[in-house]
């Protein structure tokens, strides 16, 4: 895969719905990679997945869900259901991160996490993104895509050579610590109070 297909901030999609659907496909591929890997590679593949999920879910929470609340019919209910799903997945992600890839339950937990994250992604596509596409203009969706990419560029999942020093590494520590830092960075960039 070439870089623009696998690095969230470099994806070519200009419509936020296309962009998020592309990221969901990438997340599915990253689960495959963790499942196929063994030994130290499994831990590395899992860390890549954790970083991707931290950035993707936080960017959705800060940029896409608030917009959906305002624009969708029954937007609050749609978004509250999605946040509850994200919360469930995050709890398991925290447990797995703490136990580590050597834990005897790792593969069982990974299967549960995969089912939960992918069911959540399907629900977003079906209940949130379809309406988002119908109820927003192309200009709004392009602006959201630009905001999402800018947010994801602040926390690069694959730091580029020579850029590491310019971008603070937000993606270290536990999944919740990563998400908190990405959230702060997005809010600062958008001029909101933490
Ligand atoms: Fe999500
Ligand atoms: Fe998503």
What percent of the chain has pLDDT above 70?
Answer: 91
Which has the higher per-residue pLDDT, 40 or 21? Answer: 21
Find the 161 Cα to ligand 2 centroid distance in Å: 28
Which has the higher per-residue pLDDT, 87 or 191? Answer: 87
- Ligand that comes closest to the CA of residue 87: 1
Find the 71 Cα to ligand 1 centroid distance in Å: 17
Find the 86 Cα to ligand 1 centroid distance in Å: 6
Tell me the pLDDT tens digit for each residue of 57-90. Answer: 999 999 999 999 999 999 999 999 999 999 999 9
- Ligand that comes closest to the CA of residue 24: 2
CA distance 38 to 24: 23
pTM given for the model: 0.90
């Amino acid at each position: 895969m070439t870089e623009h297909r696998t690095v969230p901030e470099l994806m070519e999609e200009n419509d936020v719905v296309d962009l998020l659907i592309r990221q969901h496909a990438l997340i599915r591929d990253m689960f495959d990679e963790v499942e196929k890997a063994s030994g130290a590679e499994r831990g590395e593949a899992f860390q890549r997945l954790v970083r991707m999920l931290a950035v993707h879910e936080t960017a959705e929470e800060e940029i896409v869900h608030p917009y959906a609340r305002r624009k969708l019919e029954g937007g609050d209910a749609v978004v509250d259901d999605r946040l509850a799903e994200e919360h469930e997945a995050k709890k398991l992600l925290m447990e797995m991160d703490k136990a580590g890839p050597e834990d005897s339950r790792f593969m069982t937990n990974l299967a549960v996490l995969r089912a939960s994250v992918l069911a959540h992604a399907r629900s977003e596509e079906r209940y949130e993104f379809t309406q988002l596409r119908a109820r927003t203009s192309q200009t709004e969706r392009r602006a959201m895509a630009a905001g999402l990419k800018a947010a994801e560029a602040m926390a690069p999942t694959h730091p580029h050579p020579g850029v590491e020093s310019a971008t603070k590494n937000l993606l270290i520590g536990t999944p919740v610590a990563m998400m908190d830092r990405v959230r702060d960075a997005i809010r600062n960039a958008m001029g909101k109070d933490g």
